[in-house]
């Protein structure tokens, strides 16, 4: 069942069309990822789902309410981590967690959450005295402290160190296991691949693709590359003639065969019938990174994710 329904969402700022016409359904209990180039409209979409911005056209429903019009219900149901938390500098970590917990009926233990995010020794520190990464971890804690039905996490771990990133991933998974539906924006492919059940790829204000991480990889045109050292001469023309083989390259004593997934077995079969052993065989499947780049190819925006 969809807990978030976005229909025909459009948002313009003067002449700038931030979101063009977006339809999305996010199922209850899902971790749903939003990917896309800088300026594609991801934050605007998340802010619309949070009810923080008024759509120019279209509708947003979160558990049956309009989050822009019904602010009271939205605040008690949705936790939001924005790129700019905009907290008062003279609020301590503990005070901020207590304040945000007070918006919800059944909040988690804020200090325990702070501990899990490595902020245990910063409980009495002012927000303004935290480092950028610490402020970001606090923003994640504030989004999750209410055990909200829906958590919206924008640029989840951008700028966090690898250990903190893994802690955040565990927390996000734990929140989902406790029933929170999560929408996250990220530029980090390993993060999206590990966490997300489905991904919407947003490009120039529209949904360019929507699938599971594996589905996106499979549907992209990014190829598989087989690389091996043959122990005997290979008839390269016969290899090139196989269906699904796009290219055969000789790299010193190694051969690289660029092919679609289905052709891999045909290549191995031909080698076997020719009595050639493919030594040190490596098959590099296309990654989500490559799928992303092939799906947004042609975008006027040159910027790509890290």
Ligand X SMILES: Nc1ncnc2c1ncn2[C@@H]1O[C@H](COP(=O)(O)OP(=O)(O)OP(=O)(O)O)[C@@H](O)[C@H]1O
Provide, rounded to whole angstroms, the least separation between the CB of residue 40 and ligand X.
Answer: 4
Q: Residue 17 or residue 258: which is nearer to ligand X going by CB?
A: 17
Is residue 286 near ligand X by the rule CB under 6 A? Answer: no
Is residue 38 near ligand X by the rule CB under 6 A? Answer: yes
Q: Count residues binding ligand X (CB under 6 A).
A: 11
Of 305, 228, 300, 222, nearest to 270 by C-alpha is 228
Out of 36, 55, 107, 223, the residue judged to bind ligand X by CB under 6 A: 36
Is residue 10 near ligand X by the rule CB under 6 A? Answer: no
Provide, rounded to whole angstroms, the least separation between the CB of residue 153 and ligand X.
Answer: 13
Q: Residue 18 or residue 189: which is nearer to ligand X going by CB?
A: 18
Out of 4, 9, 18, 80, the residue judged to bind ligand X by CB under 6 A: 18
Q: Residue 158 or residue 294: which is nearer to ligand X going by CB?
A: 158
Is residue 215 near ligand X by the rule CB under 6 A? Answer: no
Q: Give the integer Cα–Cα distance in Å for 272 and 196.
A: 39
Q: Residue 200 or residue 234: which is nearer to ligand X going by CB?
A: 200
Provide, rounded to whole angstroms, the least separation between the CB of residue 99 and ligand X.
Answer: 26
Query: 250 in the Ramachandran plot: left (φ > 0), alpha (ψ -120 to 50) or beta?
Result: beta
Is residue 42 near ligand X by the rule CB under 6 A? Answer: yes
Is residue 44 near ligand X by the rule CB under 6 A? Answer: yes
Q: Residue 41 or residue 55: which is nearer to ligand X going by CB?
A: 41
Q: Any idea what the Cα angle at residue 66 is, between residues 172 and 152, rounded to 5°? A: 15
* Options 36-44, 59-67, 112-120, 252-260: segment touching ligand X (CB under 6 A): 36-44
195 HSE (CA, 13 A, CB side): 33
Residue 283 burial by Cβ neighbours in a 10 Å radius (0-12, 13-18, 19+): middle
Q: Any idea what the Cα angle at residue 118 is, between residues 136 and 98, rounded to 5°? A: 70
Q: Sheet holding 57-62: strands in order across?
A: 16-27, 2-13, 57-62
Is residue 39 near ligand X by the rule CB under 6 A? Answer: yes
Is residue 301 near ligand X by the rule CB under 6 A? Answer: no
CB 201 within 8 A of CB 295: yes
Interface with ligand X in residues 262-281 (CB under 6 A): none
Provide, rounded to whole angstroms, the least separation between the CB of residue 201 and ligand X.
Answer: 11
The two tokens of residue 102 are 């007070």
CB 182 within 8 A of CB 34: no
- The CB density around residue 130, as the number of other CB atoms within 10 Å, is 19
Out of 43, 134, 157, 220, the residue judged to bind ligand X by CB under 6 A: 43
3-state secondary structure 206-226: EEEEEECHHHHHHHCCCCEEE
Q: Sheet holding 278-284: strands in order across?
A: 245-251, 254-259, 224-230, 278-284
Q: Residue 79 or residue 205: which is nearer to ligand X going by CB?
A: 205
Q: Which residues bind ligand X (CB under 6 A)?
A: 13, 16, 18, 36, 38-44
């Amino acid at each position: 069942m969809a807990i978030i329904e976005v229909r025909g969402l459009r948002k313009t700022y003067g002449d700038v069309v931030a979101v063009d016409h977006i339809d999305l359904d996010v199922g209850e209990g899902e971790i749903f990822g939003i990917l896309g180039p800088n300026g594609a409209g991801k934050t605007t979409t998340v802010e619309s789902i949070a009810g923080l911005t008024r759509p120019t056209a279209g509708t947003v429903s979160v558990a049956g309410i309009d989050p822009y019009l019904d602010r009271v219900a939205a605040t008690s149901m949705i936790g939001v981590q924005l790129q700019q938390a905009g907290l008062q500098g003279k609020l301590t970590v503990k005070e901020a967690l207590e304040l945000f917990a007070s918006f919800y009926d059944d909040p988690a233990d804020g200090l325990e959450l702070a501990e899990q995010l490595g902020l245990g020794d910063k409980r009495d520190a002012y927000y303004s005295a935290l480092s950028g990464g610490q402020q970001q971890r606090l923003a994640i804690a504030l989004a999750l402290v209410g055990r909200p039905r829906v958590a919206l996490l924008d640029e989840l771990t951008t700028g966090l160190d690898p250990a903190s990133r893994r802690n955040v991933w565990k927390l996000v998974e734990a929140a989902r296991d406790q029933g929170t539906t999560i929408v996250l924006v990220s530029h980090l492919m390993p993060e999206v691949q590990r966490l997300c059940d489905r991904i919407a790829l947003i490009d120039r204000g529209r949904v360019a693709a929507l699938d599971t991480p594996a589905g996106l990889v499979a549907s992209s045109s990014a190829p598989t590359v087989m690389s091996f050292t043959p122990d005997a001469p290979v008839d390269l023309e016969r290899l090139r003639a196989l269906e699904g083989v796009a290219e055969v390259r000789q790299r010193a004593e190694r051969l690289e065969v660029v092919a679609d997934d289905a052709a891999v077995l045909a290549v191995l079969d031909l080698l076997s019938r020719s009595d050639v052993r493919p030594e040190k065989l490596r098959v590099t499947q296309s990654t989500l990174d490559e799928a992303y780049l092939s799906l947004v190819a042609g975008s006027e925006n040159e910027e790509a994710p890290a």
